[in-house]
Amino acid sequence: MRPKYPSDVTAAFLELEGQSQLAGHPIVLRPRAAAGAPVLSEAVLTQLIETMFFASMATEEGRLNPVGLVFTGSLADFESEGPAWDLVRFGSTVPFDVEHVANLASACAWPRSFLSVVPHDGSLVVAGIATPHSRQSFDIDQLVRVVVPKPGVVAVYRGEWEVVRYERGALRTWMPKHRPQLDSIERTVFRDQTTPIVRHVRNNLLRMVEAMVELGRGGLLAILGPGEGLQQLFGEEGNPFDTEVKRLDPALCLGTAILEIADAHRSYPPDEPRQAPGKAPAARAPDRPLPGADRVHRLLDLIVRLTTVDGAVVMSHTLDVLAFGAKLPPPKGIISEIFAATPDQRMDASWSLDARGTRHRAAAAFVAGYPERIAFIVSQDGLAATFQEIEGKVVYWPL
């Protein structure tokens, strides 16, 4: 297999966008308030990626600084309704090249803010520094971000989700093998509605995992398969592995809360641009919180806190929290081998549990023999991953 190059990131990103539900609409975004503005073409995306890649290795006063950009066809995108951004706009634009990106990197303070890159007179320019804020539970940011967290590494995001990453001559793409479980969970939560809000369930799962990483305590989210409950996990109540479980009665209904604000979101009128052609941007109106959004935020925060208790947080396929502090049962049979997913999505690298703790062993046992389950694990050193059974293999998949 030939080594990959930064230019291959574009092809991988476009391929994934075209074949999956990852994006709410195609990559060729045309800004809502900028009629005739250039779309994000393959050539433009390649320029963004390659410039950022080389900027990652450029020093400013002897320092290497991580940096990210957010691309939009028009600055009006930052002044329209939807996911909110604060834009510090430059009085005059700056050329988008390696030298200027390296110079501005320390001011950007990635990952909290991004250089705002837009097309202007046939070229790309940096127009300011944009900071995302005031995300409501159902805000789905579709803007493309390109980030370089360290020298020689470049990743492309659709909103908050990393789609593809280049590092050391290899590509790591968003994990399509996760889709059967995540798609099944979304269909279950949204009760097989034909038009669920794209990616919302996985966005919430991602936010919980990120919060677990930030908390620094480690934790395990164990999501059961369709139709499973604590009885299927432990057998009859009184099982020795069930004695320390903190059952929730009634269950903490995260999935129901998500569905309720999904219904509220659908009842809201679609966003309209706030900037009329030829006029200055209108002042941003106060954000309208969706009914129930605060409750979802509180539930997410509580679930993350529950993961700090020794044991696992057990969730149903509908994302109802059934218990926490759960000592999970051992596997039904011997797990002969565990495999780690490689950046190119192969699952042939042996991965040993010998040097791992009880949390990793519990996660592996939870999914062994149950391909419809998925476990999200965060170690105390901040490494996040999933355990799944894929094609008959127990697979450890770093996030």
Query: Is 183 contained in some domain?
Result: yes
Q: Over 80: is that where the pLDDT of 125 sits?
A: yes
Helix axes 254-267, 179-189, angle to 10 degrees: 70
pLDDT class of 316 with cuts at 50, 70, 90: very high
Structure tokens at 394: 């127990």
CATH number, domain containing residue 227: 3.40.1700.10
Residues 149 and 207 in one domain: no
Same domain? For 100 and 238 the reply is no
Q: Which two tokens stand for residue 345?
A: 């999505």
Q: How confident is the model at residue 280, as a pLDDT?
A: 44
Question: Does residue 273 lie in a domain region?
Answer: yes
Instruction: Mark whether 243 and 361 lie in a shared domain.
Output: yes
pLDDT score for 126 = 97
Query: Are 164 and 24 part of one and the same domain?
Result: yes
The answer to whether residues 255 and 360 belong to one domain is yes
CA distance 29 to 5: 25
Asked if 118 and 265 sit in the same domain, the reply is no
Q: Provide the pLDDT for residue 112.
A: 82
What pLDDT shows up at residue 124?
96
Q: On the CB side of 97, how many CA atoms lie within 13 Å of its CA? A: 4
Stretch 159-178: mean pLDDT, rounded?
A: 75
Question: Does residue 373 belong to any structural domain of this protein?
Answer: yes
Q: Hey, how many other C-beta atoms are within 10 angstroms of the C-beta on 1? A: 7
In whole angstroms, give the CA distance from residue 51 to residue 9.
13
329 and 191 within one domain:
yes
Same domain, 167 and 202: no
Provide the residue range defining the domain that includes 95: 6-173
Paired tokens of 40: 């994000």
Mean pLDDT of 299-319: 93
Q: Enter the tokens of residue 1.
A: 């297999």
Same-domain status, 180 and 148: no
Tell me, yes or no, whether 365 lies in a domain: yes
Do 152 and 255 reside in the same domain of the chain? no
Does 127 reside within a domain?
Answer: yes
> Mean pLDDT in the chain?
79
Total of domains in the chain: 2
Q: Which residue has the higher pLDDT, 293 or 113?
A: 113
| Nearest-10 Cα torsion for 148, 135, 77, 157 | 30
- Res 324 pLDDT > 70: yes
Q: Are residues 165 and 195 in the same domain?
A: no
For range 25-48, the mean pLDDT:
59
Per-residue pLDDT averaged across 303-315, rounded?
Answer: 94
At residue 24, does pLDDT exceed 70? Answer: no
Q: What pLDDT does residue 257 have?
A: 83
Residues 79 and 200 in one domain: no
pLDDT given for residue 20 in this prediction:
52
What does the pLDDT read at residue 335?
A: 85
Task: Give 338-373 pLDDT, tens digit per residue.
Answer: 998 876 667 888 888 887 888 999 999 999 999 999
CB proximity list for 331: less than 8 A, separation 6 or greater? 364, 365, 368, 369
The pLDDT tens digits for 74-95 are 888 877 655 678 899 999 999 9
Across 245-267, average pLDDT: 78
Structural domain contains residue 1: no
pLDDT of residue 45: 94
Q: Which of 130, 155, 173 is the last residue of a domain?
A: 173
Give dist(CA 228, CA 244) in Å, integer: 20
Identify the band that residue 201 occupies on the pLDDT scale cut at 50, 70 and 90: confident
| pLDDT > 70 fraction of the chain, expressed in percent and rounded | 75
Of 116, 140, 173, the position where a domain reaches its end is: 173
Nearest C-alpha neighbor of 85 from the set 118, 125, 52, 53: 118
Is the per-residue pLDDT at 180 higher than 90? no
Final residue in a domain of this structure, among 173, 198, 215? 173
User: Pick the residue with more confidence: 381 or 286?
Assistant: 381
Average pLDDT of the segment spanning 45-58 = 94
Predicted local confidence at residue 296, as pLDDT: 83
